[in-house]
């Protein structure tokens, strides 16, 4: 359920293309050279995503596209060519209300690392039209921008009203982890039509589910780390207590190194498989400890034989004998 909301990010050897149409009431057929010649139709305020496209050996893909109007009286858009680079998501926004009718930009698919929402406003309106994002609960202005600006902004996960002057364009509650694109078109002289698209799905689970996991991990750390330190101290000879405790902490360092190596080398596509690997290593480690425990003989410092050189409690030890001459 969690993996379903992960962003599909293009890696080396692949690229992605998305097309947003902000033209209300107009249908367009788009013909491309993707695969064996992919064709699709954009109906009014609409959105298309290609998924991953294999790039050439030089890490690029030359996209040829042709846009044909299927609705009489709608703006005609020119065909074109766009060079797409690997490991990048490219997006085309159709906005004939502005001087640049076809706007290309590199998209951001990754979720916010602050558990907020990422929003991009795509408005097919005159370039100087002012658009306002206002919080419904407080009435505070969260964002004010011109229609020609399509930057990505980070907003709190609450409900917003999108306005032009006092005219309500759209109302939406943003959810944590979502990456949104709000497409706005002109319906009439003073009317607007809008549609919100989820470029990356918001999180499907609450962060509060981390609380029981941290409770279990804390209990395990207390029961394992403290008892391990006590064991390494009590079972070591008096002259090696610090050394044996250092070896105990060294095993913790080796465990952290294993985690870093597995995470950085990316042996698995899914993070869940990494957790299963760590759980398997813990199980093998537990079996090894059980085998050693069966044959281990407890060391008792009180009954252990003492070295003759050790002094009795309260007795001073002579460091160097002194010789006096007559």
Instruction: Kindly provide the b/e burial profile for residues 36-49, where b requires at least 16 CB atoms within 10 angstroms of the residue's own CB.
Output: eeeeeebebbbbbe
**Do 89 and 238 share a structural domain?**
no
Domain count of the chain? 2
**Do 249 and 170 share a structural domain?**
no
Q: Are 112 and 138 in contact (CB under 8 A)?
A: no
pLDDT digits (tens, 9 = 90+) for 21-71: 999 999 999 999 998 889 999 999 999 999 999 999 999 999 999 999 999
**Do 188 and 226 share a structural domain?**
no
What band does 323 get if pLDDT is binned at 50, 70 and 90?
low
**Do 215 and 184 share a structural domain?**
no
Name the packing angle between helices 241-265 and 227-234 (round to 10°): 140
**Do 162 and 290 share a structural domain?**
no
**Do 246 and 114 share a structural domain?**
no
Residue whose entry in the numeric block shows the structure tokens 């070591």: 236
Q: What is the pTM (predicted TM-score) of this model?
A: 0.75
Q: Which structural domain range is residue 218 located in?
A: 207-295
pLDDT digits (tens, 9 = 90+) for 290-320: 999 898 888 777 776 665 544 555 555 545 5
**Do 150 and 112 share a structural domain?**
yes
Geometric angle at alpha carbon 21, from 46 and 43, rounded to 5°: 45
**In this structure, is residue 274 part of a structural domain?**
yes
**In this structure, is residue 319 part of a structural domain?**
no
**Do 191 and 59 share a structural domain?**
yes
pLDDT digits (tens, 9 = 90+) for 218-258: 998 888 888 888 888 888 888 888 998 899 889 889 989 99
């Amino acid at each position: 359920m969690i993996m379903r909301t992960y962003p599909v990010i293009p890696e080396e050897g692949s690229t992605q293309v998305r097309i947003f149409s902000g033209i209300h009431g107009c249908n367009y057929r788009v013909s491309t050279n993707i695969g064996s010649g992919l064709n699709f139709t954009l109906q009014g305020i609409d959105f298309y995503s290609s998924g991953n496209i294999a790039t050439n050996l030089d890490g690029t893909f030359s996209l040829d596209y042709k846009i044909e109007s299927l609705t009489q009286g709608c703006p005609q858009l020119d065909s074109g060519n766009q060079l797409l680079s690997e490991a990048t998501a490219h997006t085309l926004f159709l906005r004939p209300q502005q001087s640049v009718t076809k706007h290309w930009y590199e998209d951001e698919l990754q979720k916010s690392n602050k558990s907020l929402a990422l929003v991009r406003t795509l408005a097919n309106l005159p370039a100087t039209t002012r658009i306002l994002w206002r919080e419904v609960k407080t009435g505070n202005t969260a964002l004010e921008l011109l229609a020609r600006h399509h930057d990505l902004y980070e907003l709190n996960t609450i409900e917003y009203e999108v306005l032009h002057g006092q005219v309500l364009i759209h109302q939406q509650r943003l959810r944590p982890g979502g990456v949104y694109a709000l497409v706005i078109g002109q319906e009439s002289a003073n009317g607007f039509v809008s549609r919100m698209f989820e470029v990356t799905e918001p999180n499907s689970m609450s962060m509060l589910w981390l609380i029981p996991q941290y409770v279990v991990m804390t209990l395990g750390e207390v029961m394992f780390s403290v008892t391990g330190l006590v064991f390494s101290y009590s079972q070591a000879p008096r002259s090696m207590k610090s050394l044996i405790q250092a070896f105990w902490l060294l095993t913790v360092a080796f465990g952290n190194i294993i985690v870093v190596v597995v995470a950085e080398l990316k042996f698995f596509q899914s993070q869940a498989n990494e957790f299963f690997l760590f759980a398997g290593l813990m199980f093998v480690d537990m079996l090894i400890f059980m085998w050693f425990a069966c044959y281990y003989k407890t060391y008792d410092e009180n009954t252990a034989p003492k070295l003759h050189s050790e002094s009795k409690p309260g007795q001073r030890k002579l460091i160097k004998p002194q010789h006096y001459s007559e």
